[in-house]
Amino acid sequence: MENTSDYLKKLEDTQEKAEKNKQHQGQGNNSEKLPNKKHSTNK
């Protein structure tokens, strides 16, 4: 079983990564969200 400090360190890392992913995906910041390409016009 892990001790408490190891668990907390891992938890903080996980939360930090989740926050970075959220910002990268644009869900945290709508102004930075890239438009999705739903249909290709190049045929």
Q: For 2-22, write each residue's pLDDT tens digit.
A: 799 999 999 999 999 888 877
- Whether residue 43 is contained in a domain is answered as no
- pLDDT at res. 4: 92
- pLDDT at res. 10: 93
Residue 32: how many other CB atoms lie within 10 Å? 11
Number of structural domains the chain divides into: 1
- Whether residue 39 is contained in a domain is answered as no
- Whether residue 27 is contained in a domain is answered as yes
More confident residue, 27 or 23: 23
- Whether residue 26 is contained in a domain is answered as yes
Amino acid found at 9:
K
- pLDDT at res. 22: 73
Contact status, residue 13 vs residue 22, Cβ threshold 8 Å: no
- pLDDT at res. 21: 77
Mean pLDDT value of segment 30-41: 63
